[in-house]
Structure 1
Amino acid sequence: YRITDKNGGVKWVFERGSLIKDENKEIFIEGVFFDITDQVIAESRIRESEMKYKSLFENAKEGLLILDGDVYVDCNPEAERIFEADKDYIRGKTPYFFSPPRQQDGRESREKTAEFIKRALAGENMFFEWVHKTRRGKKIISEIRLDRFKSGGKFYLMVFIRDITKRAEEKAKMERDAHILSAVHDSVFLSDRQGRLVYVNEAAAKELEYKKEELEGMEYNGILESGAKESFNEIAGTTLKQGKYVYEAYHISKSGKKTPVEGAARKITIGGTEHILFVSRDITKRKKALDDLFDAFSDLEESDKMKSNFISIVSHEMRTPVTIIKGFTAFMKKGMGGKLSVQQRDFVDIIETNTKRLEHVINDLVDMSKIESNTFVIEKQPMDLMSMVDSCVKDMRTIAEPRGIKIDFKGSGKRFVIDADKGRLSQAVINIINNSLKFSADNSRVVVTAGEEKEIEIPAKIPGKEKDIQRYYIKIADSGIGFESEVKEKIFERFFQAEDVNKRKYQGMGIGLSIAKTAVELHGGYIWCESEGKGKGAEFFMLIPEK
């Protein structure tokens, strides 16, 4: 909630308190609160940046993909439509995976892909046509643009893809039948080898604010921006040599208006004489959308970095006083400051319980900071899965018993030896059990089971196991508040809260399940959850490979 300081400034604080009772009579409430203003501001900026970036990326009319090296790591819905594949299928694939063995010029797709990526990462403006092969085997012709951008100190490539198969077919027809040029919605220019325009369509005349008769006879170079990066001589020379060329330029209208265009030039023969056919499109909106997209990406990165630094600093600063409190609490329980009365021992127990809870929050914050900085690692050693789960259940019973909650462990009695980080895997199991306890009523029951993969039904979205590699499951089921289906996709996201933050009934920061997901996935495993709806409990599953 918010408070006002003595100077009239508004600050956000996080408060935790405990009610101290004596023989069922309330005495006082003791508590502590922390200034989380910077965290709230950072989270607000991240939400705004994430929404802006996601909206621009997801709603772009062009296919957008992000390349890390030579591997796709993300794409938007238009790219999924073009490749006839969903995002999960596209991720991890290379550009030449969606290409035939050779391109139209006879070069190998793999070789040509490596060259273009290298040139783009070096800062060269790459704009070209490419033959793609969709997941279903359909052949399409695309216009590709590669733009380099930097994030987290590393260069990535934004891939803009437009399916121009239909447009390519239209251009082929235009080469055979000149009369259909006027029906094309893009601006079309036909020039001789020297660049003198012999034909323009109505769209070109409208864009440049000329009459068709005025444009025909002018030089194409005359409507290009003076001093442009790519001159007519360069465009024409490459087109006449290679047969086609894709470029970007600025057209200057009769009134002096400058319009950014994306153009494709092709060499054609009319009556035995070589000509150059130019087809261009106004990309003003696309360039603005691109600028907005990169601005949003930059804002998102900066806000995320600020939040990560804040979490790291706060968690480390809190560790020292918590350690001191734990130490002196232990001294008091041992009577080093004098014998404690029954009431005093109860007070000390309350201090100890809440200190452990605060320590757990700090550890989760530290782990979340490690995850965000890619320093959250696992060290695998042979271990018995069933013994580890049994140990976790026993540890969590001490937390469940004061509320009358029973935790049952139903194992097969067998030993399942796996290569895993016992500490990290135990942390995942404990975080999920703790989540079930938090949302379960007093005097209820939580059931933990473990065994071989064949004993449970695996969702279709989980890939099948590799040959000769056994997988084992851990299942935590409760009869708590449950959740609706739309929550299932978000429940493992960091800081996610299923309830309104202003009406929260349950404690927690919403990072325990996210940490559990990271730990499981670093083992090559999978994690998911199921619920029949609110009030009907929940089931959490982990699937861990033996190695």
Structure 2
Amino acid sequence: MPQDESARTMRIDIHPDFFGESLARKKQDAAFLGQSHDSTSVVARARSWRMSADYERLLQSIYDGVLITDLKGRILDFNDRAVDFFLCPEAELYGRHVIGLISGADESLMDAIRRNLENHRHTLIEAHCVRRDKTMFPAEIAVNRIDLDGEGQLCFFIRDITVRKKEQAALEAAIAKLEEHDRSRTMFVSNVSHELRTPLTSMIYAVSNLLKGVCGPVPERVRRYLEILDGDSRRLLNTVNDILDLRKIESNTLTLAKTRVPLGRLVKRSVDSLFVQAERKMLKLSVSDCGGNWFVDCDPLKMERVVLNVVGNAIKFTPEGGVVDVVIDEHPYRPGHVRIICVDNGIGIPAEALPRVTERYFTVGEQPSGCGLGLAISKEIVEMHGGAISIASPPPGCEKGTAVTITLPTAAPPTVLLVDDDRSVLSLLQEQVRSRGYGVITAETGMEALEKISAFRPDLVVLDLVLPGMDGTEVVLKMRSEKELARIPVIVVTGAGVSRAKAEILAGFSIPALAKPWQEDDLIDKIENAFLG
């Protein structure tokens, strides 16, 4: 019997005894239908109360059926509404026990009511009431204590809730039907999205290889078409992924595969894939990181899609010859946070639409472009990373355009273990890696490298293959054989004359190689790509 303490109401649900299975139920039915008893004194008490015109008017004016009983539950008086409810002559109601009118009730109900009233609480019962012809109707019964003659009585207010129950059942059926339709829709969208994603991924892979010249030199005109195909395929794949992520967000099953990544590289890599789209509209697209080295703890694939959505929208809604600038800088008012700001001089967003642009399925304009998911899902993903998205249109100090600001908390720089037995090479590596904001530890032998990997758990290892004692290949094999070390990415530095066997080992583990002498940009590219995946 759950209690609502704030309303001081005890609620009781009684399961109806539809089949009259209990012996007590059968005895109560027999009594209700005609067992003789002396009700003369009961009728006399009721008539004495009804001598008051106010009492009679009040009793008959109440919308609910009213039963007044003594403290044991014997019926003393009632209104006409109660007579109509139970289809019972007045003479048969006087002196009857109230539990004979409630299907499934027994004396424990009266005990509960009396205990509850002693604690000055109301009692609300939901049950099925029994008419004289043994039919039933669902009822809500409120019980209070009154005192009409100094002896104390119970007042049962009975409300027929047949219509409410029918409407509730119809509503529940409608909800169940809608839920079934929603499950079917979700399953259909999910299946279609998966069916689209597989060929799109293959198409992007094939086009990417063609652009790399895997099948030979690509004529400039063909390259142009391939670049368009590559860009459009990636945008379509991005939309498919948005739909799949929306389903996960709605079911609270979206997860993040977080790792610390260089934010500048992540943003630039994302924007680079949009340059062809910008060139088709003759837009000036630029990216600047203001010389900072910021790292964030994020899911790189999902954060790249956020950047693609935001910058892609800017390109879409900026007229030919316009400008789209992407700037990464330190947040001026929130220490420990970095901003990605995308500013365009496009058509902007109407003031009345601005508060809704991050809502799911919301689109702007009479002939909207897109499905209205990109910004909504981007907002969800950014907030899952502890960040925020804000939109201004026009940007401060501008007459038109839009500025979208993504704010993210920064993370501590990843640590890189540099391994080389040549101290001059090691010094050069340290200088180049530290200049990009990474933490650095060093080792000069394979054995020392393994000791420091176990002790410090670096985020990346840059490893010379030729080392005294244990060489770089052995270090790689030992790392990959230990579960806790196997996931640490490795970049090997190679000179001339690497044996075929070692080369095959490295290729088997998909370990990127950097040839001596290297260019600093090549080293940083490999490091940043290792973190971005």
Normalising by structure 2, we get a TM-score of 0.55
Deviation at 1:394, TM superposition (A): 4.7
Match of 2:5 in 1: 130
Contact map agreement 1:235 1:247 (CA 8 A) in 2: no
Relative to structure 1, is the Cα distance of residues 544 and 355 closer, same or farther in structure 2, using a 3 angstrom cutoff?
Answer: closer
Matched, 1:544 2:408: yes
1:480 matched residue in structure 2 = 346
Q: Is the 8 A contact 1:439 1:480 kept in 2?
A: yes
Alignment map for 1:489-508 (pairs within 5 Å): 490-499=356-365, 503-504=367-368, 506=369, 508=370
What amino acid is aligned across from residue 266 of structure 1 in structure 2?
A: N
1:304 aligns with 2:182: yes
Query: Match of 1:516?
Result: 378
> CA offsets per residue over residues 282-308 of structure 1, 9 Å max, x none?
333432343244334323332332233
Say whether the 8 Å CA contact 2:262–2:293 is kept in structure 1.
yes
After TM superposition, give the deviation of residue 511 of structure 1 in Å. Answer: 2.7
Change (3 A) 1:214 1:411: farther
- Spell out the pairing of 1:100-111 with structure 2 (5 A cutoff): none
| Closer, same or farther: CA 343–265 of 1 in aligned 2, 3 Å | same
Q: Identical aligned pairs, as a percentage? A: 29
- Give how far 1:316 is off: 3.0
Contact 1:484/1:532 (CA < 8 Å) preserved in 2? no
Contact 1:406-1:446 within 8 A present in 2 as well = yes
* Equivalent runs, 1:21-420 vs 2, <5 Å: 128-131=3-6, 184-201=62-79, 204-205=82-83, 207=85, 215-224=93-102, 228-229=103-104, 231=105, 233-243=107-117, 245-252=123-130, 258-268=136-146, 271-330=149-208, 332-333=210-211, 343-372=221-250, 374-385=252-263, 388-389=266-267, 391-409=269-287, 414-420=292-298
1:120-172 Cα distance to aligned partner (Å, 9 max, x none): xxxxxx554331xxxxxxxx5568799xxxxxxxxxxxxxxxxxxxxxxxxxx
**Which secondary structure does the structure 1 equivalent of 2:254 belong to?**
coil
Letter in 2 for 1:262: E
Deviation at 1:247, TM superposition (A): 1.4
1:442 to 320, 331, 349: 320
Letter in 2 for 1:401: E
Q: Which deviates further from its counterpart, 209-218 or 184-193? A: 209-218
| 1:371 partner amino acid | I
Shift of 1:261: 1.8
Is the Cα–Cα contact under 8 Å of residues 265 and 277 in structure 1 kept in the other structure? yes
Deviations 1:83-108 (A, max 9, x none): xxxxxxxxxxxxxxxxxxxxxxxxxx
Q: 2:289, 2:216 → 1: CA distance?
A: 46
Tell whether the 8 Å contact from 2:9 to 2:123 is kept in structure 1 after alignment: no
Between Structure 1 and Structure 2, the one with more strand by share is 1
Deviation at 1:251, TM superposition (A): 3.3
The total of aligned residue pairs comes to: 363
How far residue 521 of structure 1 moved from its aligned partner, in angstroms, is 2.0
1:451 to 1:342, Cα distance in 2 relative to 1, 3 A: closer
Q: Is the 8 A contact 1:235 1:245 kept in 2?
A: no
The code of the aligned residue for 2:387 comes to G
User: For residue 299 of structure 1, what is the amino acid of its counterpart?
Assistant: K
Secondary structure, aligned partner of 1:404: coil
The superposition leaves residues 13-69 of structure 1 with CA deviations (integer Å, 9 ceiling, x where unpaired) of xxxxxxxxxxxxxxxxxxxxxxxxxxxxxxxxxxxxxxxxxxxxxxxxxxxxxxxxx
Question: How far, CA to CA, are the matches of 1:421 and 1:194 in structure 2?
Answer: 69
- After superposition, the C-alpha distances for 1:206-229 in whole angstroms (9 at most, x for unaligned) are 6556787875545434543xxx24
Pairwise CA distance, 1:248: 0.7
Is 1:527 matched up with 2:389? yes
Query: In the alignment, which of 277, 284, 302 is matched to residue 424 of structure 1?
Result: 302
Give the distance between the partners of 1:340 and 1:416, measured in 2 at CA. 37
- Output the CA distance in 1 between the equivalents of 2:362 and 2:390: 15
Q: 1:356 to 1:421 in 2, by over 3 A?
A: closer
Distance in 2, Cα, partners of 1:205 & 1:512: 64
CA contact (8 A) 1:238 1:245 kept: no
CA separation in 2, counterparts of 1:510 and 1:298?
A: 27
User: 1:482: Cα distance to partner?
Assistant: 3.9
CA distance in 1, matches of 2:275, 2:401: 19
Task: Measure how far apart 1:524 and its partner are.
Answer: 2.7
Q: Residues 66 and 156 of structure 2 are in contact (CA less than 8 Å); yes or no, is this contact kept in structure 1?
A: yes
- Counterpart-to-counterpart distance in 1, 2:410 and 2:214: 48
- The whole-number CA distance in structure 1 between the counterparts of 2:9 and 2:116 is 18
Shift in Å at residue 273 of structure 1? 3.0
List per-residue Cα deviations over 1:239-292 (Å, max 9, x = no partner).
Answer: 123325321122355787743222222345555534322223333343234324
Structure 1 418/328 Cα, relative in aligned 2: closer, same or farther at 3 Å? Answer: closer
Larger Rg: 2
Q: Contact conserved, 2:343 with 2:401, CA < 8 A, in 1?
A: yes
Distance 1:527 1:323, change over 3 A: closer
Summarize the Cα distance change of 1:297–1:483 in structure 2 as closer, same or farther, 3 Å threshold: farther
CA distance change for structure 1 residues 406 and 284 in 2, over 3 Å: closer, same or farther?
farther
Structure 1 unaligned residues grouped into runs of 5+: 1-125, 132-139, 147-176, 456-464
- Judged with a 3 Å threshold, the aligned counterparts in structure 2 of structure 1 residues 338 and 542 are, in CA distance, closer, same or farther, namely closer
**1:482 to 1:345, Cα distance in 2 relative to 1, 3 A:** closer
Q: Summarize deviations over 1:303-332 as a string: whole Å, max 9, x none.
A: 332233323333333344334434544565
1:75 matched to which residue of 2? none
Q: Which residue of 2 aligns with 1:46?
A: none
Kept in 2: contact 1:128–1:245 (CA 8 A): no
Structure 1 residues 532 and 352: alpha-carbon distance in aligned structure 2, compared to 1, 3 A threshold: closer
Q: Deviations over 1:412-462 (max 9, x none)?
A: 65555543334322321221111222222222223445556665xxxxxxx
Task: Report SS of the residue matched to 1:542.
Answer: strand
Question: SS where residue 273 of structure 1 aligns?
Answer: coil
Quick one: structure 1 residues 488 and 211, their matched pair in 2 at CA, closer, same or farther if it must change by over 3 Å?
Answer: farther
1:188–1:201 CA contact under 8 A, matched in 2? yes
Secondary structure (helix, strand or coil) at the match of 1:263 reads: strand
Q: CA 1:204–1:407 in 2, change beyond 3 Å: closer, same or farther?
A: farther
Q: Within 2, Cα distance between the matches of 1:539 and 1:143?
A: 56
Aligned to 1:265, the other structure's residue is in SS state strand
